[in-house]
Structure 1
């Protein structure tokens, strides 16, 4: 996701939700690989960096799709458009350094208290 898409995402959240983007939000980050092993290794490294491991799973596939696995981690943190762009670059580099095929992006929601 490039900075333009991030700017649009933030604008959409501000316009369509009552979420306070100036406070901590629960950010989920996703990584994709053909096999699960590199995802488990990356997940351990991300836990050491303060992320919470949600799961490594094989998604339900449409007929004819090649199987793949997804790593989902999350962390409550505050982001601006620029800091989220920097985080995406950081996570892409971590994926590459750990033999994971793709950093697949993020989602966001309110922190459940």
Structure 2
């Protein structure tokens, strides 16, 4: 899983060759800790079709604001530099994969 910053976001996410799922998270967020292992599993299983990344919204509020992130965790899927899907809140792996499937 890739750790993003304000400096690396555009290059790694918007100019990436594969779809990129970004988790906007924060240290103090219990649901973020709940979903972290699920995202690691998805990264390991779908790494050839999907890049999974995370960005600490407290440390990089400019990016969170740019994409209208109002709460954590927010998962945003980017395809070809555009937002294809945005999910607010933690989800089970099965439900998250169902949401992502049409975009992969």
Fold shared per TM-score above 0.5: no
Larger Rg: 1
Length-normalised TM-score, structure 1: 0.30
**TM-score normalised by L of structure 2:** 0.32
